[in-house]
Structure 1
Amino acid sequence: MARSARSEGNTINGASSRSRTAAKSASRRGSKHRSRPGDDAGMIPVLARAVREIEGAAERGKVGPSNRTKFQVIALLMREERAHAKSDPDVSDAERAELLKRLDGVATILAKTAARDTSLIALLAEDAPVSDAARKLRRDMLMASGAELSPDELIIAVEAPTLAPVAEKQVVPKSVISRQLSNPFLAPDFSQPVAAKPATHRLANWELLEPLFRAFEYGSGGNVASMGLPEPSDADRRVPGGLELFHHQAEFVASAREGHRSYLLADEPGLGKTAQALLAASVTNSYPLLVVVPNVVKMNWAREVERWTPNKSATVIHGSGEDLDAYADVVIVNYDVLDRHVGWLRTLGFKGMVVDEAHFIKNRESQRSKHVLALAESIRALRPRALMIALTGTPLINTIEDFRAIWQFLGWIDGEKPTAELMAHLEENGLTPADFGFFAEARQTVIDMGIVRRKKLDVASNLPSKRIADLPVELDDDLGRSIRDAERELGARLRSRYLSLRASRTGAEIGEGHSEELMRMVARAELEESKASKSGDNVFTMLRRIGQAKAVLAADYTAQLARSVGKVVFFAKHIDVMDAAEETLARRGLTTVSIRGDQTAAFRQAQVDAFNNDPQVSVVVASLTAAGVGLNLQAASNVVLAELSWTSAEQTQAIDRVHRIGQAEPVTAWRIIAAQTIDAKIAELIDSKAGLAARALDGSDADIVDASEVQLEALVALLRDALGD
């Protein structure tokens, strides 16, 4: 190895004429980095000597801190030298080829060194933190090369020390190392134009994000939030034999083929968003493509790649990525292991990124959201025209703020304000938030950035109908009686608090009758205590007990359905409810499979396949959280909801595992409701309010309600009953 290094070093150093060429190139960079008179060494020999020192250290054992710093500085200067060599108009083609060849020699030694100590690979990332020591070493190496530095470059300001991010979980699979060896450095794509910053005038000092969010929150008089899409050509409809593409899917593919590159694809669940994303990547040649998904669907994504784009390969990251194929066209990773792989994923040169169930990143402070946003930013930095698609049938769960992280992923905002492209379009509108008509114009401007929302009723009229049927059940056993007792006790507690609060107010403050404001204050205080409490009777523990009480009744009804109409999907929120249901169904002689959150992706996919394909399997008992997104369970046309969700969005997602493209029969969802309990009130609340997405994206004028609002209203209803209203 040492002999090889010396040989390569000779190639790198070259003859004196080559050194003079390097020095001449360095002198052409401009006033900052001119060679000193009489010094014809140039930068490349300095890099060659330094990289051989690191190589020797790696041969002797683990690379120490000082050589790690040197490794990073060499990588930084390599990028600078390569960029100068490619962009300098005064360098002839022959000189440029010679310089790049010598830089490749340095790159080869760097890559081989990184292969010996894989922890060095993280230092190759463009966003790797640069320490004060690294900045000083960079200055010293520039001076050694003969560069003339400005006063600002000569003085290295020492910054206050910051804690480095925890990186114990970071891994670099062997397949990635192999790819790094073949292509250790990724040059920026200068062929893709970067949008110039707009000259802001009217909007320069305006806060814009809140008005943009409100533009969606207020709705738009029945207008669905969907950008205009072109009429698809025959090329856009071309799919592998045996598959069919719906017109709305082909429209999306046509839009990508015509040049659009960022989308919030928010079609209702079941309208084939996965196929649309994969075909858009195909027509735009956005490979390698990164796909970030929930664990429950990552194996299904690999199948869909093979199904819709059989000429492209897919690899799925499991655990530490031992079986990863870093050369695959599509890399699929689930949110749960993203923290272990985010470092090397930035180095793979993706041309596109898809985030499935994008509402998973709504909390921008969560680690998975930060990793997703950082990856998106690194992809755009290298390829400004990368294909970026956020997929979710329910982009808004609780508040309009759920848009923020998705828009940031797509590059429309930086988290706090619009980015250059969106700002330019807003400027073109000629309005400010104080002007009449701003909200409608701003809403449409954001929609035109790439929001695509189609409803089943509009684009898949041949899809069978869907209905929700409630089955009230009486909880007349000991558990049922204890639940009703607990509800009465909770109502009495709320009543006591309300009367105490009312007594502390004057008559002028509360007026005649019961005060709605005071009731909501009491209910809100109870809700906050319930969320913080780990024990005792509260609205959450009562719902769990109601679920336990309904489990056998719901399973019995499921068994009846299975014997009369065929396969059934049984959904529950809690593991003990699922356990009780499976035991009951087994006693009834039915074969079941289970989908839970603690299963591996491969096992879960096997369970789905068994349900869809094995005629002996009658029921799938599924977790609302683990199986409520992404899965195709259309072998059934009947769904039993043994426990209620707090939001209509979660309920809809679960039902649409069955009511989706490929379904040939009308779908019925049977909600098991515990009569004369808070269960029934919650069902009414969910049904009486439209979802946030319906207002923001579908143009509905219905009131908005989120999970916390339903919980609050349920407690207010209990208090009213206790007060005798």
Structure 2
Amino acid sequence: MDRTEREQVRHLVADFRRWSEQATDVRSWRQAISDSADSAEQDLLARSLVIDRTGESAWRVVPLGKDDAGIVRHLRERANLPVTTSADQSLLRLLTEDVPRALADVARGLGVRRFLSGSAKKQTADEAAEFLRSRHPTVIEADAPRRLEQLGVFSAPVDRADSGYEALLDPALRFSLLPGSSGPKPELLDRSAVDGLAEALDTIDRAVAGEASYRSAALHAGQQVRAADVRRMLQEMPVEALKAATGERLRLGALTQAGIRTVQEVLDRDGSLQTLPGVGETSARYMLGAAQTIWQTTYDEMPVRIDIDDRRPETTELLRRLAEWDAYRQTRGAAADLERAAELAPLRTAVGRRTSHLLVIPTGMLAVADLRESIDIVKRRAELLGDSPTRGRRKSVAADPWEDFLARPADYFAMLAELGFLTEDEDAVHGDLPEEIVKAVRDQALSGEYLTASLRGYQSFAARFALVQRKVIIGDEMGLGKSVEALAVLAHLRSRDETHFLVICPAAVVTNWIREVTGKSKLRAHRVHGPERNRAARAWRRDGGVAVTTYETLAWWEPTLAQIGDLACVVVDEAHYIKNPEAQRTVRTKRLITCCDRAILLTGTPLENRVAEFRNLASYVRPDLVVDATGLSPRKFRRQIAPAYLRRNQEDVLTELPELIEVEEWLPMSAADTDRYRTAVRRSNFMEMRQAAMLQGTRSQKMRRLIEIVREAEANERRVIVFSYFREVLDLVARSLRGPVFGPLTGSVPADQRQQIVDDFSSAEHGAVLVAQIVAGGVGLNIQSASVVVICEPQLKPTSEAQAIARAHRMGQVQSVQVHRLLSEDSVDQRIVELLARKKRLFDDFARVSDLADSTPEAVDLSEAELVRQVVAAERQRLAERAAAET
């Protein structure tokens, strides 16, 4: 390299050194801005907390205070860094990495250092010079110096005073904690949103802690009942079970020679087993281990049962402890609220005195409004607990816990379920619902502020299902507490400042609904039925609450209801009453369902005769689900209406329900019965044919058997319900029985008097009989005091019999229920039973959750009129053929 070349290179070096320093400053400045923003993000992430909902992440909450003003500035500065292109990145890499190496190498060929460098270094210097010489025009042509100036300043002015936390929600800041564009939006909440939350959580903690000792005592008592039952079982379990439990590896001869016959005796001997002749230390350890395994397995699977016929001391102690817990606890009916409190507990420590705002970022599908709702629920629950009338004082506990248990068994079973002694099938609780609806229901809050009853898990699920889906059919099997499920919805809506609710039901159950509302909630009930309906309607319109009216009264009241714009929810009880879309009561009820934002149809028998009836009910709440539902197979039909229909059956969720024993008693007809029956057949009088075998009084075989059943029930300290479709049969039954008889309970008896008859019957002595028309007494009433049911003749709808049985075999029943169906041989009874089996299959296919084979709905339709024609024709032909044969 000659002098001219060296001079040229010196000019190149000067240019590149200046540009390199400029590029290094730009890169360092940009890196510092990015590092500060990343550090701020990491700080926010570290201090943030995740709030769960039903075990899944729902929101990320970031507390912000006055000391965090610089965070927004750092993020804003990063957001306003000029965007670098690939050419920019190549330029910065050239000037900050490649050029500094070339400048170091070329220095060896300049100045006096070149005289001391060897040939290799001179060669490197020449190559570096050539590198600078070749890159210089490129840098100049790209106007790199000016581009470096652009990369070294913000693309937009950054106002240091503009550091409000609202900017964190700006997508332009590229805040990494924010979600994408889909899903609920994050929000910035003022500190006031959580004011009072810490105090509310403390109040709830104190209430829960105060109840903990009583709950713990009840839990321990339940465990003792379970352990005692296990001990009794193992005292009956032969010692040979140890051999089966160990795969036949144990020799038990030494045990039997020592007189040890049962597994419990092995446990009782414990450490002394090895002292027995022929039993070594290893064998003793294996024997005891096998016995303990059997004990644990039996204990885990042993339900806690309360047997009123065997009142053991440990069971009495359990009832006493449950009664004490129930008397002292303030959180009854608040399970959902307590769950919300536990979920919000992390906020108590995360929000400090210097916190001014909360950045709430949804991590699932729940909006920030749902978090605010949870906070309000917890604060309202704390207010209720702080103002509880039982706070600081003792409530009386019944002297005889068995007496209190028999008075309200459902409450005790609810407590046992809460303690985990009564389990529910999780899949059965969900019915046949799609998974996405199940998840939404789980996420739905349920306020217990206005509810005073304890909900079972499956009942809470039904209430939340109705809240999520807004208009639904709850088709739970009779006896599971559908009215309480609907009442829980109304109570929740009242806590959300809704005020006016309407229940439409048959006249027979108006009184029962009034009792449910007043006894299990803090809502005000209004009886808009009967002579005081005008006054009650005005009071409801003025004060709000739950108006209970009938399908018939609706004709009078509908014009006024149509003008009410704040009707929050309508509940239609025994909704199968409106299965016929042409009936006027259906038309009126449907208009209310349509104009109301929420509706709950309650019926344990959504399908009685035809699949079309079920489709009709579904169309009232979700017409979109049944547009193309005609002709579907059962499985497809259930899947299509699943978003609006929830059904659970007794055996799935009421594990404590006593046994249901059903007996078909086929009886020969007496001579008097036969004469009357033949006359009815000759006249083609179907109704007379059905009751002919009962109308001869004590000359009738059915009546004689009925009298025997009642005597047996009295001897066994049971009460009896006798159902018949026919008033004449009921009158004759009432005259033929010697003991206390209540009724007949018929459709002509006013609703309030019906309830009074049931109350008098429930408090009567054993052996008492309630006679009731199956179409009146079989609907809506709760008669758990009876445990023997007699049905005098088969009904034309299998659902009618199921409803009647469910009056006694329902939640709260503590005795096994015996059902006696009185059936006459060689009569209309046999024909009806055979034909109705097809109706039952239809219901099981379409309305009861099952996986039976597909079938076409129209192929198995069977109307009542057609059934009557078939039965009468078959009987006339049978009797004619018999008469011909006898001739």
TM-score bucket of the superposed structures, by smaller chain: 0.5 to 0.7
Against the structure 1 CA distance between its residues 537 and 719, is the aligned structure 2 distance closer, same or farther, given a 3 Å change threshold? closer
Q: Secondary structure at the match of 2:769?
A: strand
Determine the C-alpha separation between the residues in 1 that align with 2:812 and 2:525: 25
- Relative contact order higher in (CA < 8 Å, ≥ 6 apart): 1
Partner of 1:310: 522
Answer yes or no: is the 8 Å Cα contact 1:317–1:323 preserved in 2: no
1:333-412 mapped onto 2 (5 Å cutoff): 333-348=549-564, 349-379=566-596, 386-410=597-621, 412=622
- Does structure 1 residue 572 correspond to structure 2 residue 724? yes
Give the Å deviation of 1:312. 3.9
Please tell me the residue identity of whatever aligns with 2:508: V
Q: Report the Cα offset of residue 694 of structure 1.
A: 1.2
2:734 corresponding residue in structure 1? 582
Residues 716 and 280 of structure 1, relative CA distance in 2, 3 Å threshold: same
Alignment equivalent of 1:559, drawn from 710, 720, 723: 710
Which residue does 1:289 correspond to in 2? Answer: 501
Structure 1 position 657, deviation (Å): 0.7
**1:697 paired to 2:844:** no
Over 3 Å counting, the alpha-carbon distance change for 1:241 and 1:440 in structure 2 is closer
Structure 1 segment 75-86 matched on structure 2, within 5 A = none
The match for 2:510 is 298
Map Cα deviations across residues 425-444 of structure 1 (whole Å, 9 max, x no partner): x9xxxxx999x999966652
Q: For the structure 1 residues 311 and 370, does the alpha-carbon distance in structure 2 shift closer, same or farther, using more than 3 Å as the test? A: closer
Unaligned runs of 5+ in 2: 1-429
CA contact under 8 A between 1:594 and 1:607: conserved in structure 2?
Answer: no
Is the Cα contact below 8 Å between 2:478 and 2:806 reproduced in 1? yes
Instruction: Pick the aligned partner of 1:444 from 613, 619, 639.
Output: 639
1:360 positional shift = 0.3
1:632 partner amino acid: N
Q: In structure 1, what is the equivalent of residue 742 of structure 2?
A: 592
Give the C-alpha shift of residue 367 in structure 1: 1.5
Is 2:647 the counterpart of 1:460?
no
2:684–2:872 contact (8 Å) kept in structure 1:
no
| CA deviation after TM superposition for structure 1 residue 275, in Å | 0.3
Secondary structure at the counterpart of residue 229 of structure 1: helix
Secondary structure of residue in 1 paired with 2:687: helix
Contact 1:568 1:640 survives alignment (8 Å): yes
- Contact kept? 2:447, 2:491, Cα under 8 Å: no
Alignment CA distance shift 1:483-1:280 (3 Å): same
- C-alpha deviation, 1:328, in angstroms: 3.5
| Conservation of the 8 A alpha-carbon contact between 1:552 and 1:580 | no
Whether the aligned pair in 1 keeps the contact of 2:572 and 2:601 (CA below 8 Å) is: yes
- Cα distance, 1:537–1:331 mapped onto 2, change above 3 Å: same
Task: Give yes or no for contact 2:739–2:768 (8 Å, CA) kept in 1.
Answer: no
* Secondary structure in 2 matching 1:467: strand
Would the alpha carbon gap of residues 404 and 642 (structure 1) be closer, same or farther in structure 2, given more than 3 Å must change?
same
Aligned to 1:484: 678
The number of residue pairs the alignment matches comes to 430
2-structure distance, mates of 1:307, 1:677: 47
The alignment status of 1:627 with 2:777, answered yes or no, reads yes
- Aligned counterpart, 1:330: 546
Q: Distance in 1 between matches of 2:637 and 2:823?
A: 43
* Cα deviation digits, residues 194-233 of structure 1 (max 9, x gap): xxxxxxxxxxxxxxxxxxxxxxxxxxxxx96445535758
Instruction: Provide closer, same or farther for how the CA distance between residues 711 and 465 of structure 1 changes in structure 2, counting only shifts above 3 A.
Output: farther
Structure 1 match to 2:161? none
Pick closer, same or farther for the CA change 1:236–1:665 going to 2, 3 Å: farther
Query: Is 1:254 the counterpart of 2:254 in the alignment?
Result: no
**TM-score scaled by length of structure 2:** 0.45
User: Where does 1:118-267 land on structure 2 (aligned, <5 Å)?
Assistant: 225-226=432-433, 228-230=437-439, 236=446, 238=448, 243-257=453-467, 259-267=468-476
Extract unaligned runs of 5+ from structure 1.
1-222, 380-385, 427-431, 490-535
Task: Give the residue type in structure 1 aligned to 2:614.
Answer: F
* Aligned-partner Cα distance in 2 for 1:609–1:457: 28
Distance 1:295 1:685, change over 3 A: same
Partner of 2:169: none
Deviation for aligned residue 1:338: 1.7
SS at match of 1:546: coil
Structure 1 length as normaliser, TM-score? 0.54
Q: CA deviation at 1:243?
A: 4.3
**1:444 aligned partner, one-letter code:** R
In structure 2, relative to structure 1, the CA distance for the partners of 1:615 and 1:235 (3 Å cut) is farther
Structure with bigger gyration radius = 2
After the TM superposition, which of the residue ranges 473-482 and 231-240 deviates more from structure 2? 231-240
Contact 1:298–1:316 at 8 Å: present in 2 too? Answer: no
Over 3 Å counting, the alpha-carbon distance change for 1:537 and 1:459 in structure 2 is same
Mapped contact 2:741–2:771 kept (Cα < 8 A): no
- Distance of 1:322 and 1:433 partners within structure 2: 42
Q: Secondary structure at the match of 2:768?
A: strand
Q: 1:606 aligns with which of 748, 756, 770?
A: 756
1:678 corresponds to 2:828: yes
SS in 2 for 1:690: helix
8 Å CA contact retained: 1:611, 1:617:
no
Are the aligned partners of 1:225 and 1:696 in contact in 2 as well (CA < 8 Å)?
no
Secondary structure of 1:304's counterpart equals: helix
The AA in structure 2 aligned to 1:278 is L
Residue 314 (structure 1) shift: 3.8
Instruction: Quote the residue 1:126 is aligned against.
Output: none
Query: Does the C-alpha gap of structure 1 residues 701 and 318 become closer, same or farther in structure 2, counting only changes over 3 Å?
Result: farther
Q: Hey, what does 2:809 align to over in structure 1? A: 659
Q: CA deviation at 1:318?
A: 1.9
The 1:717–1:276 alpha-carbon spacing in structure 2 relative to 1, beyond 3 Å, is: same
Query: Could you tell me which amino acid in structure 1 is paired with residue 529 of structure 2?
Result: I
Please state whether the residue corresponding to 1:280 is helix, strand or coil: helix
Aligned amino acid, residue 454 of structure 1: R
Give the AA of the match of 1:584: S
700-709 vs 631-640, which deviates more?
A: 700-709
Say whether the 8 Å CA contact 1:561–1:568 is kept in structure 2: no
Q: CA deviation at 1:315?
A: 3.5
Query: Structure 2 CA distance, aligned partners of 1:444 and 1:358?
Result: 21
Deviation at 1:339, TM superposition (A): 1.1
Match of 1:636 among 786, 794, 798: 786
User: 1:438 & 1:561 partners in 2: Cα distance?
Assistant: 46
Any conservation in 2 of the 1:270–1:656 contact (CA below 8 Å)? Answer: yes
1:508-537 CA-to-partner distances (Å, cap 9, x unmatched) read: xxxxxxxxxxxxxxxxxxxxxxxxxxxx43
CA displacement, residues 57-112 of structure 1 (integer Å, 9 cap, x when unaligned): xxxxxxxxxxxxxxxxxxxxxxxxxxxxxxxxxxxxxxxxxxxxxxxxxxxxxxxx
Q: What is the rounded CA distance, in whole Å, between the counterparts of 1:233 and 1:261 in structure 2?
A: 15
Q: Judging changes above 3 Å, is the alpha-carbon distance between structure 1 residues 540 and 225 closer, same or farther for their aligned structure 2 residues?
A: farther
C-alpha deviation, 1:555, in angstroms: 4.4
CA contact (8 A) 1:559 1:590 kept: no
Query: Quick check: 1:594–1:622 contact (8 Å CA) kept in 2?
Result: yes
The 2-side partners of 1:666 and 1:702 are apart by 35
2:425 alignment partner in structure 1: none
Cα distance between partner residues in 1 of 2:629 and 2:785: 50
Matched, 1:646 2:796: yes
Q: Tell me which amino acid in the other structure corresponds to 1:573.
A: Y
Relative to structure 2, which stretch is displaced further, 702-711 or 681-690?
702-711
2: CA distance, partners of 1:241 / 1:366 = 35
- In structure 1, distance between residues paired with 2:629 and 2:587: 30
How many angstroms does 1:618 deviate by?
0.9
- Give the Cα–Cα distance (whole angstroms) in 1 for the partners of residues 518 and 571 of structure 2: 17
Aligned partners of 1:232 and 1:253 also within 8 Å: no
Question: 1:283-337 deviations in whole A, cap 9, x for unaligned?
Answer: 2335311110001001100111112212444444224614413234101101122
Residue 654 (structure 1) shift: 0.7
